[in-house]
A and B are shown apart, each in its own frame.
Chain A
Amino acid sequence: MASRAVPLNPTARGAGRSRDRARLLAAGVRALVLLGFVLGPWIFPSFRAMDVLAKIMIFAVVVASYDLIIGYTGIVSFAHGMFFGLGAYCLALVIHHGGEPRGFHLAVALVLAVGLSSVLASAVAFFSLRVKAIFFAMVTLALAEFAHILGGQWTSLTLGEDGVSFRLPGVLGVGWNGGGVLGVGVDGRLITYYAVLGVSVAVFVGLLRFVESPVGRVIESIRENERRATALGYRTFHYQLLATVVGSAGASIAGVLFAGWVRYVNPESVLGIPVMLNILLMVIIGGLGTLYGGIVGAAFIVAAETWLPELQKAASTLLPGVEIAQRLAERWVLYFGILFMLVVFLFPKGIMGAVRQILARREPARTGGQ
């Protein structure tokens, strides 16, 4: 990766020490974040805080898997929201049409989500990516809109606009109660929270391993210079296809988690254009090509969506009667849009990229002083 500063002489003691320090710092931050999510229900013992944390984890997975496609592979897909929705609907419909909720329904939904999204992503890639990378953006945009309409119209399967609400089996069910630990009730909600946490971490680590693997390196090299990668003998389409399929499958797993956490899906909440726009906002604000940016971006947007409406209410009571002020306060998506454009212009690598750049700039300065 070009952004990572590599000292000319790796045996220089100062450079090595500061690199070790940076690595240690990064590991510490990672451990702290993970610990925060693990202890979250105890640190902030309210349902709302737990809801925010769970959604951050889920969207961090969505955004990281999207980052694999847009950031590492350099392909713009507008169907990522669709794959997310596909996963969500897999869980909801398997349980809805499967009678009494059972444990194996979860496994069936997960397998179905990964299988369907892989097949669909391969088909889309075959039709459009083979031709021209930019076609992929256009075809996925059309397809995602079609999926959204289908979710609303195919009422016999998806129950249409009304959506599907369902229960989870066993210890994940809302009814289950296992007493309390240190003042926090151990119920279906809490168990679901940890299930979401476990799967999210597993998928996230899997994505990290994937981009660090030799295959991931080839994928990045194709983004940097496709002709050169072809000249080196790599079948670039195969690698791009693989990245698209892995990313889309990751999104569908996150969709299963989202449906499991919310226990309700409808076309608007998981398939609509706003979902896709949110994912785009998160990945851009967090930082393209960083994976960890997914956590930052997801945290930023989920938190903003949770607390902005309250801020807006406060703003409108400050200026009562001024209609244009009311309207301006109501339209917080506008500010997201402006922020989004500014980030694309000024910090193309997002928050994570900017942080890494600052750290990389400090490093040689420190070695120079010794």
Chain B
Amino acid sequence: MNALDVAVGQPPGRPVSGRHLAVGAGAAALVLVPLIWIDPTTYLVLTVAGLAMGMLLFLTAVGLTLIFGLMDVLNLAHGAFFAWGGYVGFSVLQRLDALGWVETGSLGQSVGSTLLALAAAAGVGAVLGVVVERVVVRRVYGDHLKQILITVGLSLVMAEVIKIVWGPNDEMVLVPQALQGSYDLFDVVVNRFRVLAVVVGVAVFGGLHLLLRRTRLGLVVRAGVENREIVEVMGYDIGRIFTAVFAGGAALAAVGGAMWAVFREQIHPGMGDENLILALIVVIIGGMGSVTGSFVGAVVVGLAFNYVSFLVPKLALGVNILIMVIVLLLRPQGLMGQE
């Protein structure tokens, strides 16, 4: 057990508090900078919107970063799980609406339909993830070029299958009644759905943190990120852990897709690619392999996008690229990445 403890534990004597406090203070100051140009009420609205967007991005990015950290696989098909989740959520909501649950039902029914849609998306994402990992990705471990090519091909195929099953056109997504409208807190108008997004994102982050830090499985996964061979030598079947992490990442991406579908009230087969690109930026900013990093990166991207699109709409899409370039220049391993 000693080797494993050393591999996963924090290196002794690492100066945690001082440096982390300074970084945290700097980040907080950066977040407040837009207040110079934006009045506080609008600022709060934008902040909530940015956090919600960040949480949705986090759901995709966390799978990407864990799959890369643990398996050394750049999974460019990850966006396809996101799109599948969106379409599954859409179908579930449509079925339930036929029962009168979604747009007209009681509070319990519409909350229930939301949960059902998310659960169905997660289930389909997990099953697809298991199949994809077992059938395709497993064959290309250790070969970056082949991984990239195979997962690009895979995302193409998965997007095309969406077009066969659901048709190639945009679809309108029904929004459960409980999520329509917004809360009004002292003139700060907060869309209900955004609150849900933030709650789900923080819950997933907290849950993952507990899973990785407090359970046996999490211990093995973190050890695998550090050193795969030693975990195998310790007698763990790394193949099954790979499958589990891949399926879990796919399920989270699918949940993100279903939430995105409700948020935008619209889905299209290309939604996976767009999301993948943002998630990649998040992962680069946060650091490959770091869950906390992708959480921070997602919040940074979400907030920056919303502030800038309010201040300088034309620059909004470039600001993420700009942040990525700055991070690559100053700290190439990402904010929370190692080495």
**A-side interface residues toward B, CB under 8 Å?**
70, 74, 76, 127-128, 130-135, 137-139, 141-143, 145-146, 149-150, 153, 273, 277, 280, 284, 324, 327-328, 330-331, 333-334, 336-338, 340-341, 344-345, 348
Contact = CB atoms under 8 A, between A and B. Distances in A.
A340 B328 contact: no
A324 B165 CA distance: 9
Contact of A128 (B136, B153, B328, B333): B328
B144 A134 contact: yes
B154 interface: yes
B149 A280 contact: yes
Contacts of B145: 70, 74, 76
A128 B277 CA distance: 16
A333 B160 contact: yes
Interface stretch (B115-123, B217-225, B232-240, B318-326): B318-326
B160 A337 contact: yes
A73 to B, nearest CB: 11
Given A127-B328, A137-B74, 15 more contacts: A76-B149, A132-B332, A142-B280, A142-B320, A273-B273, A277-B152, A328-B164, A330-B168, A334-B160, A334-B164, A336-B156, A337-B157, A344-B146, A344-B150, A344-B153
B325 A127 contact: yes
A135 B157 contact: no
Contacts of A328: 164
B328 A142 contact: no
A341 B146 contact: no
B172 interface: no
Nearest to A133: B144
B156 A134 contact: no
B277 A145 contact: yes
B157 A142 contact: no
A338 B164 CA distance: 15
Given A127-B329, A334-B164, A341-B157, A142 B321 contact: yes
Contacts of A348: 146
B226 to A, nearest CB: 18
B192 interface: no
A143 B144 contact: no
B214 interface: no
A277 B146 contact: no
A74 B283 CA distance: 23
Contacts of B152: 277, 280
B156 A340 contact: yes
Contact of A138 (B74, B146, B161, B163): B74
B74 A341 contact: no
A131 B332 contact: yes
B264 interface: no
Contact of A146 (B144, B164, B321): B321
A-B interface, 4 closest residue pairs, ranked by CB to CB distance from nearest: A334-B160, A337-B156, A337-B157, A131-B332
Contacts of A331: 160, 163-164
A330 B161 CA distance: 11
Nearest to A335: B160
Contacts of A133: 144
B238 to A, nearest CB: 21
Given A127-B329, A337-B156, A344-B150, A142 B314 contact: no
Contacts of B146: 344, 348
B70 interface: no
B156 A76 contact: no
Nearest to B277: A145
B317 interface: yes
Nearest to B332: A131
Nearest to A130: B332
A146 B318 CA distance: 7
A135 B281 contact: no
Contacts of A76: 144-145, 148-149
B82 to A, nearest CB: 15
Interface in B94-146: 136, 139, 144-146
26 contacts: A76-B144, A76-B145, A127-B325, A128-B328, A130-B332, A134-B144, A135-B284, A135-B328, A138-B74, A138-B283, A139-B284, A141-B76, A142-B321, A145-B274, A146-B317, A273-B273, A327-B167, A331-B160, A331-B163, A333-B156, A334-B156, A337-B153, A337-B157, A338-B153, A340-B156, A345-B139
A340 B321 contact: no
Contacts of B317: 146, 149-150, 153
Nearest to B317: A149
B148 to A, nearest CB: 5
B273 A334 contact: no
B317 to A, nearest CB: 5
A137 B317 CA distance: 19
Nearest to B156: A337
A331 B136 CA distance: 21
Given A284-B149, A337-B156, A138 B284 contact: yes
Contacts of B274: 145
A212 to B, nearest CB: 22
A335 to B, nearest CB: 9
A131 B331 CA distance: 10
Contacts of A344: 146, 149-150, 153
A176 B146 CA distance: 49
A130 B333 CA distance: 11
Nearest to B165: A327
A333 B161 CA distance: 10
A345 B138 CA distance: 12
A338 B284 contact: no
